[in-house]
Amino acid sequence: MITAMKEINASIITIGDELLIGQTIDTNSAFIATELNKIGIWVKRRVAIGDVKEEILDALQAESKDCQVIIITGGLGPTADDITKPTLAEYFKAKMIVDEGVLQNVKDIFTRFNRPFTERNAKQAEVPDACTVLPNKRGTAPGMWFEKEGVIYVSLPGVPHEMAGLIEDSVIPKLKEKLQLAVVIHRTLLTAGIGESFLADAIAPDFKTLPAHIKLAYLPAFGMVRLRLTVRSDNAAEAEQEVDRQFEQLTGLVKQWMVADKDIKIEEVIGSILKEKSKFMASAESCTGGYIAHLITSAPGASSSFKGSVVCYANEAKENILGVQHDTIVTHGAVSEETIREMISGVISVMNVDYAVATSGIMGPNGGTPEKPVGTVWIAVGDKDKTVAKKHFFRYDRKRNIELTAHTALNMLRLFILEAEGV
């Protein structure tokens, strides 16, 4: 019988005025939460605060009430607005000292880059004497590990690649050594072509009695829905068997909409199919402006299945590069089935590929007409022998319309390839 272990909760505190005014996007919290979750630590809260001593002290006190691990990022630089270190010294009733190892690391970095070393730079080596220093192999600001009344506090630099290095090299191994951690197992699948509520209705009749220690999460984005099963336990082998059994049942219930039975992106699925079949694709993009190509090439190994993209934003580019007939655009418009079909045949010819996807639409906020309002999009997919075109209406802002168009187009392409290849 599987029993869930008592959760170890964590709080992530991000420090910096730039986060609060939107000048800097907080990517650190997502990375930290992912890494903590892998080892069985549940992130209970994420707190963003400014460079204000009293707010930092209040946050540390508040988060320590029900969290056993507190990860702090930001405010460790050498300038006056970076106040995290002295504030931590006050919180832990510590005095600031110079750590010789950190000082030498800072000097080595400045020597390596042939930069003058100043007294301000030397302040990076000052740390509260209550901490254990975590060496920063990627920068000058060290990580700092504190323990107080059964709570672990870790202070890390806000620079993302420095923070990530410390998490991977020092924080995670040290947490695993210090704490008795539960096993956390995830199983994720990706669906397309069905909304979240409809998917829930389709699953509910046969999948409503999950054990208390297993959770099902719905994660919608860009016209697709991920389903994730999560189990927490102190018995890895039994947990694996239980979640595998539940996941097999879940995949059977959603088989007709399932894109992948693992946590990967749709562009990776397409790339994998094409690579296996030794086939290539290309894109002809008007309204998406190369976003489909960006998604595809973001996946490692894209060169084995993707030859390139023609971003034919202007009508002139559609005609001169892809060979779309001038009369077609004059008669039917750039956003039309006739134009999108000619874009497919043109890009297949120009790129010499097996499959292609094409987009043309009105992303907004302007440019719409009563006949073709903002959000009108034509998408086509095809090969040398066949083209499938479909009209869509997206009702969001420009950015989301582009993203929805790209993901919808990729799913159309996936389905077309599967049928053509007999997969």
- Tell me the pLDDT of the chain averaged across its residues: 94
The CATH number of the structural domain formed by 266-421 is: 3.90.950.20
Query: Average pLDDT, stretch 165-185?
Result: 94
Q: pLDDT grade, residue 2 (50/70/90)?
A: very low
Degrees (nearest 5) of the Cα angle 378, 384, 385? 90
Closest CA to 254 of 201, 213, 214, 211: 201
Q: Are 140 and 109 in contact (CB under 8 A)?
A: yes
d(CA 296, CA 282): 10
One-letter amino acid for residue 13 of the chain: I
Domain spans of the chain? 8-178, 183-260, 266-421
Q: pLDDT grade, residue 1 (50/70/90)?
A: very low
Q: Are 86 and 39 in contact (CB under 8 A)?
A: no
Mark out the alpha helices in 116-205 (DSSP H runs). Answer: 119-122, 160-166, 172-178, 196-203
Query: Average pLDDT, stretch 126-138?
Result: 96
Q: Are 250 and 227 in contact (CB under 8 A)?
A: yes
For the cut 60, the answer to whether the pLDDT of residue 285 exceeds it is yes
Least confident of 204-218, 359-373, 387-401: 204-218
Degrees (nearest 5) of the Cα angle 137, 138, 141? 85
Query: Average pLDDT, stretch 396-421?
Result: 97
Backbone angles phi, psi at 373, to 5 degrees: -70, 165
Q: pLDDT grade, residue 79 (50/70/90)?
A: confident
d(CA 256, CA 241): 25
Query: Average pLDDT, stretch 389-402?
Result: 96
Query: Angle formed by the axes of helices 398-421 and 266-277, to 10°?
Result: 30
Degrees (nearest 5) of the Cα angle 380, 386, 392? 20
Helix (H, G, I), strand (E, B) or coil at 6: coil
Dump pLDDT digits (tens) for 133-168. 999 999 999 999 999 999 999 999 999 999 999 999
pLDDT, position 120? 83
Q: pLDDT grade, residue 388 (50/70/90)?
A: very high
Degrees (nearest 5) of the Cα angle 93, 96, 99? 130
> Could you check whether 8-178 and 266-421 share the same CATH topology?
no
Dump pLDDT digits (tens) for 225-262. 999 999 888 888 888 999 999 999 999 999 999 999 99
Query: Average pLDDT, stretch 92-101?
Result: 96
Query: Average pLDDT, stretch 185-196?
Result: 94
Residue 263: CB partners within 8 Å, gap ≥ 6?
A: 186, 188, 190, 226, 228
Q: pLDDT grade, residue 6 (50/70/90)?
A: low
Domain 183-260 CATH class label: alpha beta
> Is it true that the peptide bond before 365 is cis, omega within 30 degrees of 0?
yes
Distance (Å) of CA 192 to CA 259, 266, 302: 7, 9, 22
Query: Average pLDDT, stretch 195-205?
Result: 92
pLDDT, position 420? 97
One-letter amino acid for residue 198 of the chain: F
Percentage of the chain with pLDDT > 70? 99
Tokens 């950190």 sit on residue: 102
Tokens 């209970």 sit on residue: 44
105 φ/ψ sector (left φ>0, alpha ψ -120 to 50, else beta): alpha
pLDDT, position 88? 97
pTM over cut 0.85: no
Dump pLDDT digits (tens) for 348-373. 999 999 999 999 999 999 999 999 99
CATH-assigned architecture of domain 8-178: 3-Layer(aba) Sandwich (3.40)
- Look up residue 384 and give its two tokens: 């040398």
Regarding predicted confidence, which is higher, 213 or 380? 380
CA neighbours within 13 Å on the CB side: how many for 179?
26
Dump pLDDT digits (tens) for 266-284. 999 999 999 999 999 999 9
Q: pLDDT grade, residue 3 (50/70/90)?
A: very low
Query: Average pLDDT, stretch 188-215?
Result: 89
